[in-house]
A and B are shown apart, each in its own frame.
Chain A
Amino acid sequence: MPHLAYSAPATVEDAVRALAGAAGVAKPLSGGTDLLVQLRTGRAKPDLIVDTKRIPGMMGVREENGAFVIGAATPSAELGEHPGLKRAWPGLVEAAKLIGSTQIQARATLAGNLCNASPAADSVPAMIVARVTCVIAGPGGRREAPVETICTGPGRTSLARGEMIIAFKLPPRPPRSGDAYLRFIPRTEMDIAVVGCGVNVTLDAGGVCRDARVALGAVAPTAVLVPEAAKALIGRKLDDAALQALDAAARQACKPIDDKRGTVDYRIKVAGVLARRAATIAFARAEAAR
């Protein structure tokens, strides 16, 4: 494990320069809850680690024009302590707060969870349905990209060499909107999601759904947005027929594998179950939000 160098730059530009110009493999380090584990097992063998936590603006939650901006290196624990964010986006916050134990929560970040690109990452389905935009800095300057374009396969992202995410932007929240994220794990804590489901809805005054997004995690090589599941909800209230249609659409979208955490058949069935349960919570939150 030698030949490893560590640096903690003070600006985004310094970090980008270090990542782009490294002689070998360079990786950003925020919480390190995936990277340090992989360093130890040998799955990751970087030559340079670039610590992002000393860069101003990388940590913290800001409100700008009724919309939230989350610094990419903000630990999940902080997200859970921000009352405004919790009120507007309870599903996103609960997804981030499900990542690991209390100890992991003090370190785990949305950027790390996303860019580690595990198909089962908890925050990703919730970020997708929330229409999160990533602010990316790289050798070519800054750009923005929808969060669902980042993961391209297990362990792989669309980020170019030298690029790193510096912030996540959430759109303004229309009234009567609610989101929810549920995952299935065999214990009550500490497991990687066997299936994850994020649902985000906006209702009209009569309780009819006007906008919906449904995304599933751990049932395909990346988290998937499920337009057919959204169609099952839009234009209706959440009655039994809508739930059944939602369940079926969620199951249809799955392309899971058998692994040490679950079987194909099980994941498909539970995807439908979680979609129903998450939608029920999201609708209830939307009703309660004015």
Chain B
Amino acid sequence: MAYETLKVVGTRPIRPDGVDKVTGRAQFGADMTMPGQLVGKMKRSPHAHARIVRIDASKALALPGVKAVVTAADFPDIPDEMAFVGEGPMNFRDLSCNCMARDKALYEGHAVAAVAATTSAIADDALALIDVVYEVLPHVIDVEAAMAEDAPLLHPRMLTQGVQPAPTKPSNIAKKMVFSLGDVAQGFKEAEAIVQRKYTTKPVHQAYIEPHACIAAASSDGQAQIFSSSQGQFMIRAYVAKLLSIDISNIRVTPAEIGGGFGGKTLVYLEPVALALSKKCGRPVKMVMSREEVFKASGPTSGGAVEVKIGAKKDGTITAAEATLKYQAGAFAGSPVGPGCMAAFAMYDLKNVTITGYDVVSNRPKVAAYRAPGAPISTFGVESCIDELARKIGMDPVAFRAKNAAKNGTKAAYGPTFKDIGYVETLEAARKHPHYQQPLGKNQGRGVASGFWFNIGGESSAAVNINEDGSAVVVEGNPDIGGSRAAMAMMAAEVLGLPIERVRPIVADTSSVGYSFLTGGSRVTFATGMAVTQAAEQAVVELRKRAAVTWDIPVDDIAWVDGKAQPVGASAGKFPPLSLAEIALKSARTGGPIGGKAQINAQGAAPGYGTHICDVEVDQETGHVTILRYTAVQDVGRAIHPSYVEGQIQGGVAQGIGWALNEEYIYDKDGRLENPGFLDYRVPVCSDLPMIEAVVVEVPNPRHPFGVKGVGEVPIVPPMAAVANAIYDAIGVRMPDLPISPPRLRAAIDRRAEAAE
């Protein structure tokens, strides 16, 4: 079914959960209470690397009001097992050890024990009474330091995968990978200009405003209820089942509203521990992270070192490109270096390209996904290098990108051949935008950068149920982080021919809807939207069948138009149309309740591209950078609800600007985090940013009924290079190391002045 004339899709209705959110009624993870609930809190390692010699919880258990204590001894000792999760593969033993340290604490803040008590104050007292004896070990944080020969080893049996011959000496390098096309050595020989540089980024956090929170309640028949703020209730169910050796069928996870995730809530931290505590004492246990715990013990992303070399002819043709990426994985293997490698050059049609990636562990929290995981880091290097190379050959930066742009038919370094992509369209829209022509003043500059993200499909289930009054309920299983449930209702309304106010979407728990992969990978509007559309289409087939019964004509003689069954073909004109409400009212007499259901593994997700223009002003005396103007162009396939599509773009840009200018994890010499709070972990505030213009380009994806491409992740990929390129344009100083905080920029300005003397 092709949807050409759209009545609902593309409009901007008020989101169905909106009133709850603006009145404070919506229930987020920490807003729920259960009768008899206890307060759960974690005891965390103060050391970046230490052997856990002994844990003695006897004094804590003796404290009145303390009902349970757990350590790793209370968790099954599960074997190594790999599975695909979120944006990358997962080892369940690692996940278990991350939730509760076994034998070793691998980062400051690593959980080593947990208590459940009747009040918060008693829980705090109990934590202080748990006696942990540590043997402090040398630690390592920085990725290149962790790769060094003599670096302290986190995992004594870690042998680098992907190296031939296989190494026998353990190291902190979990994996090496290479993606290659053509012959880069030959390509560089043909180049008439080459730029080669090393870029570095510091680790950053997703910094969602809502800390992790859950309540877990075990009952004596082995059933468990979990209420949790996460990006995937089915993920929570599966992981908790795995980590505690419980049957999935015995766990019911209800998704709370979620206060931001950006990938950081695609795995478990609190839920297995809360449930383990609850099982021990038979009462619900509520656990909520403090902001300090979020920074220290959830899943910030990697810091990285990125070496890039690109060569081109004077006419602008890129002849060869090479990159080496080294990413921190944190305490356990699994940095996003793979996607970082694959996305790095995906904007360009290259015959000769080699990308090498290293996944390296170090004594900081296990990294979790952060919005287009891996791509912002590698793209920062690539797009900065592209800018420098364009200037070297004297070509406009947009024109240089357009000359080498990936198009339909381009083969990517990581394998697939692109089709139905819209990168060139974003370059064209950027070039034509009035922003690109706006004059600039002294100390002001303009930077351009592009970005790519794969976007995924995956498993989604949905049901569309028609109510007796002719309204509809859409049942889906994806937590709504950015307004997705509105888009689900809109697609169903479009198919059913109902006004949007007559379609209520709900995000259901694990017992009330079929399996759905988590909210992430920019997949929900694509994959869950596809499932919702198919479910609504099934409902329409059923509605037509009921009209057929009512009119006693063949169902093929019935079309569904504007929410009504209409006789067509041989039966045209024989009956006045029957509305959905009229059919619904008689459903018992025509066969029973009416609805549709779809459970799919959505295929055909299409990648997204963005091109950003950033204007800055630099105060050369202080190194302060002001963002003057920002335009973000992005191909979204089709914007179901344009306001929320724009919102995704604007939010990603803001995070990228923060990553570029002021956000970073600052460690002291003992590997402890010096800035685990919003005072010194500096995300952009309202007065730091101008309006952010989101320009939506639509090159539809033919494999989705409405042409949708994923939107949420692309916008965070270009900003870091856009900002750095703008600074170069303003004052002629290249900044290859992030963040470009004022002290660093001032120091670079001074070095340039000294070099000139």
Contacts and interface: CB of A to CB of B under 8 A. Distances in A.
Interface of A: 1-2, 41, 184, 186-192, 194, 260-263, 265-266, 269-270, 273
Given A190-B679, A190-B685, A1 B121 contact: yes
A57 B678 CA distance: 35
Contact of B674 (A2, A260, A273): A260
B747 A187 contact: no
A2 B120 CA distance: 10
B746 interface: yes
B682 interface: yes
Contacts, number: 60
A269 B666 CA distance: 23
Contact of B621 (A194, A262, A273): A273
A168 B602 CA distance: 69
Contacts of A184: 622, 624, 742
Given A189-B685, A189-B688, A263-B743, 20 more contacts: A1-B121, A184-B624, A184-B742, A186-B682, A186-B742, A187-B685, A187-B687, A188-B685, A188-B688, A189-B686, A189-B687, A191-B679, A192-B680, A194-B742, A261-B680, A262-B742, A262-B743, A266-B742, A266-B747, A269-B746
B648 to A, nearest CB: 23
Interface of B: 121, 124-125, 292, 621-624, 661-662, 666, 674-675, 678-680, 682, 684-688, 741-743, 746-747, 750
Contacts of A188: 685, 687-688
Nearest to B680: A260
B131 to A, nearest CB: 18
A186 B742 CA distance: 6
Given A260-B666, A260-B674, A261-B680, A186 B121 contact: no
B675 to A, nearest CB: 5
B687 A186 contact: no
Contacts of A262: 742-743
A2 B746 CA distance: 47
18 contacts: A184-B624, A186-B661, A186-B662, A186-B742, A188-B685, A189-B685, A189-B687, A192-B679, A192-B680, A194-B742, A262-B743, A263-B747, A266-B623, A266-B742, A269-B621, A269-B750, A270-B621, A273-B621
Contacts of A2: 121, 125
Where chain A touches its partner, the secondary structure class is: loop
A187 B622 contact: no
B688 A187 contact: yes
B622 A270 contact: yes
Contacts of B678: 190
A187 B624 CA distance: 8
Contacts of B675: 260
A265 B623 CA distance: 13
B747 A186 contact: no
A273 B743 CA distance: 13
Contacts of A1: 121, 124
Contacts of B124: 1
B622 to A, nearest CB: 6
Nearest to B686: A189
Nearest to A277: B621
A154 to B, nearest CB: 16
A13 B674 CA distance: 41
Question: Which of B624, B680, B743 has the largest number of chain A CB atoms within 10 A?
Answer: B743
B747 A265 contact: yes
A194 to B, nearest CB: 8
Nearest to A42: B124
A143 B244 CA distance: 66
Contacts of B750: 269
B662 A187 contact: yes
A3 B679 CA distance: 29
The 7 A-B pairs at the shortest CB distance, nearest first, are namely A266-B743, A188-B687, A273-B621, A260-B666, A260-B674, A189-B687, A188-B688
Contacts of A269: 621, 746, 750
Question: Which of A1, A186, A188, A262 has the largest number of chain B CB atoms within 10 A?
Answer: A186
Nearest to A101: B685
A44 B674 CA distance: 18
B424 to A, nearest CB: 36
